[in-house]
Every structure is written in structure tokens, then in C-alpha cells.
């Protein structure tokens, strides 16, 4: 009985790590309640601009991102590590430099081009 309880330890630990990682990747943005007398028209247009800003900021900046963030770009079977190759080829003027500097193949670039940027988040 005791042996069977301990046999679940790796499963429990991997589940906890998964929960911590996925919870850390979710957006926890809060919105303030509008003050009295606030213009409702400007409030209605605000979520649209916030969504577009969030979409831009969700891209990974290949010039400044730490290895842990670049690891989110890992593709199955890439050796050596894609994140280490990206970090080693810095700096980049544009995302196409990943291919021109031969850091990644054109096929790999097609898979990650919508996930990366060279613009620093503000």
C-alpha cells in the first residue's frame, strides 16, 4: 500500500508543475470600474485597442527575452535548443534575420514568425 502511494509522486509533481506553468502564462489583467460621469463611448472603444495592444505584447522579443521565455518557441526535435540558438545570434534588426543569420531554417521560421518580434515592449 505504501509503495503504491509513492509510485504516484512523479505524476503528482508533474501535475503541480503543469499547473504552475500554465497559471503563470495566463493573463491576470484587471479593469477598473468607470468613474461616475465617465463617457461610455470611449469606454466601449477601449477594449478593442486594449486587445490589439495585448496581441502585440504577447509576441516574444527575440532581442531581449530570457531563455525561459524563448523556450516557449521550442519545436519538437530541434537540436541544439532553439532558444539557445536564438539567444546566441543576437542582436536582430528584424525577425527575418533569424533566417539570414542561419539561426533557424526557413521551415522553422514559418512556424514561429507570428510569435516573435524585434520591438521592445513598452
- Give the pLDDT score at 114: 94
- Give the pLDDT score at 117: 95
- Give the pLDDT score at 81: 85
- Give the pLDDT score at 94: 96
In tens, the pLDDT along 53-67 reads: 445 568 999 999 999
| Of 109 and 2, more confident | 109
pLDDT at 30 exceeding the cut of 60? no
Summary count for the chain: helices (H), strands (E): 7, 2
CATH fold of 55-122 reads DNA polymerase; domain 1 (1.10.150)
How do the domains of the chain map onto residue ranges?
Answer: 55-122
* Residues 86 and 98 sit within 8 Å (Cβ to Cβ): yes
Question: pLDDT tier at 22 (50, 70, 90 boundaries)?
Answer: low
d(CA 59, CA 6): 41
Non-local CB neighbours of 84 within 8 Å, separated by 6+ positions: 67
pLDDT at 38 exceeding the cut of 70? no
- Give the pLDDT score at 73: 87
Question: Quick one: cell of 52?
Answer: 490589439
d(CA 49, CA 55): 10
Q: Tell me if the pTM is above 0.85.
A: no
Amino acid at each position: 500500500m505504501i509503495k503504491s502511494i509513492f509510485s504516484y509522486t512523479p505524476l503528482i509533481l508533474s501535475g503541480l508543475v503543469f499547473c504552475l506553468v500554465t497559471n503563470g502564462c495566463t493573463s491576470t489583467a484587471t479593469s477598473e470600474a468607470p468613474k461616475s460621469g465617465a463617457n461610455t463611448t470611449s469606454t466601449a472603444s477601449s477594449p478593442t485597442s486594449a486587445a490589439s495592444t495585448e496581441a502585440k505584447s504577447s509576441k516574444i522579443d527575440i532581442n531581449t527575452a530570457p531563455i525561459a521565455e524563448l523556450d516557449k518557441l521550442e519545436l519538437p526535435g530541434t537540436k541544439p535548443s532553439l532558444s539557445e540558438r536564438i539567444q546566441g545570434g543576437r542582436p536582430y534588426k528584424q525577425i527575418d534575420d533569424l533566417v539570414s543569420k542561419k539561426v533557424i531554417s526557413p521551415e522553422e521560421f514559418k512556424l514561429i514568425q507570428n510569435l516573435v518580434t524585434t520591438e521592445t515592449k513598452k
